[in-house]
Amino acid sequence: MGFTDASFEGVWAYTSLLHIPKSEVGTAFSEMRRVLKDRGILGLGLIEGDTEEYLASTKISMPRWFSYYSKNEIESLLLEYGFEVLYFETFNPGRRNYLNFITKKL
């Protein structure tokens, strides 16, 4: 990201990282951590599951990439990239569970 280190008090990534392959999501976590100030807040939302693949979706003419995660998988990534979970909830607006985290940069 084109921001200087420690630029922000908070970062909001809600259902955006699910469009990054799991093999590349570490780069996103590293960049979010880099641009956050010490003890900055990361709001994170992902969709629960265990697959990653291109899928067709309604109202979008081309398939999009989706990476689904387990709660444990995300908690491990957050710890690995220096975040502490402050709050967690599961939200189910329809067919899938959404995993919602509020975290703090350590």
User: pLDDT per residue over 45-63, tens digit each?
Assistant: 999 999 998 888 777 778 8
pLDDT attached to residue 39: 96
| Token couple for 8 | 């922000």
State phi, psi for 105 to the nearest 5 degrees: -70, 130
Q: Which of 95, 86, 99 is nearest to 44 (CA)?
A: 99
The end-to-end CA distance of the chain, in Å, is 20
**8-105 belongs to which CATH class?**
alpha beta
Greater confidence, 70 or 54? 70
Q: Which percentage of the chain shows pLDDT scores above 90?
A: 84
Parallel/antiparallel/unpaired status of strands 52-55 and 64-67: antiparallel
pLDDT attached to residue 63: 87
pLDDT attached to residue 28: 96
At residue 79 the predicted structure's pLDDT band, cuts being 50, 70 and 90, is: very high
Mean pLDDT of all residues in 23-29 = 96
pLDDT attached to residue 56: 85
pLDDT attached to residue 50: 93
List the chain domain ranges: 8-105
